[in-house]
Structures are given as C-alpha cells and as structure tokens.
Amino acid sequence: MLVMYTKCLKQLKQTEEYVRVTLKLLGKGAAVEKERLRRRSALKIGTKPNLENDENVPVDGYLEELMKVIPTLQRDTHVPLQSFFANVEVDENIVYDEDQDSFILQLKMRYLLVDDLRVEKAKARMVPVAGGQGRDIWLETEKMVVVKNGITRLQLRSNVSCPPSLVEMGY
C-alpha cells in the first residue's frame, strides 16, 4: 500500500508528503531486515529456520530518488539513526591527536537498507553523564562516506579534547 501511495505522491509532485511517506516505507524495509537479523541470530542448533514468511518490502531504488528530492525541500529532514541502522557501538579506543587539541573515535553499526547511502557529513554528540557539568562535544566525519548494506564504520573527529566526564554518545 505504501509503495503505491509513494508512486502517486511522486506523480502528483507532493514532495513534502512524498518524502515523509518514502521515509516511512524505507523505515519499514529496515525494520523487516532488523527483525530478520534478530531471528537469524536467535536460531537454535538443530532447528530449521523458517524465514519464508518474512514480509517482503520492496525498497530498492527509493533511497536514490529520495536523495534527489530532499535538497528541494524548504526545511531540513531529520531521521533517527536507529531507523536505518542497528547494533550501533562506540569503539572504546579513542585516538588523541598529538599535534592539535582533538581526538577521533569510531562508530560501528549495521546499515539495514539495500541501496548505498552517500553521507556528506555525519555528526555525533558527546554529553556529560549523570547530569555532570560540562558542555556537549560534537564530532563529525572529515570526508564523504558511502555506506553499504552490512557493517560499516565511521570515524568521527572532534575539534577539542575530551574531558573524562564525557563518555556517553547521543545519536
């Protein structure tokens, strides 16, 4: 139903609604993949997996078209990271720069969609834990990254040093 509605919105040039519905369609496709991965990891030894009943959500090609339409919108479009990614982990090894006041950390995550995602800039925010005082620290990628289906890693750099009280990531 969403597929047909998305096609109608595109033909009618209802861009705002097209973007909203297409993001919902892509999110549904990602949720099906996330559930498939969860069931696959929970399989018991000696049992046959029954993955034939997986709901088929055809989302191939929608991301590319969506990425052409989004820049034409009047306002920014924000989508939570967990909509299209799973198993987000922060590498505990932080690399501090000796020559400047900055550091690099790595995010590891599973991208759930089939279409490649071109990321011009990714940002993450470090916040004080347990209501500690201090300011948030923003980190971002230094170059464009193409994210493919499966496990991906993003290196994020800050432009300041990290006080020890900042250890949780907000994304």
Which of 79, 80, 87, 93 shows the shortest CA–CA distance to 109?
87
| C-alpha–C-alpha distance, residues 81 and 86, integer Å | 8
User: Is pLDDT of 143 > 90?
Assistant: yes
Question: Are 154 and 117 contacting, i.e. CB atoms less than 8 angstroms apart?
Answer: no
pLDDT of residue 10: 92
Residues of the chain with CATH 2.60.40: 82-170
Instruction: Identify the CATH assignment for 82-170 out of 2.60.40, 2.60.220, 2.40.50, 2.70.98.
Output: 2.60.40
| C-alpha–C-alpha distance, residues 147 and 160, integer Å | 27
Binned at pLDDT 50, 70 and 90, residue 167 comes out as very low
Q: Using one digit for the tens of pLDDT, what is the confidence trace for 38-79? A: 888 775 555 555 545 556 677 889 999 999 999 999 998 888
Place of tokens 């994210």: 147
Binned at pLDDT 50, 70 and 90, residue 165 comes out as very low
- The region that residue 6 occupies, defined by phi over 0 for left and psi between -120 and 50 for alpha, beta otherwise, is alpha
User: Is pLDDT of 88 > 60?
Assistant: yes
User: Is pLDDT of 169 > 80?
Assistant: no
| C-alpha–C-alpha distance, residues 93 and 105, integer Å | 7
pTM for the model: 0.79
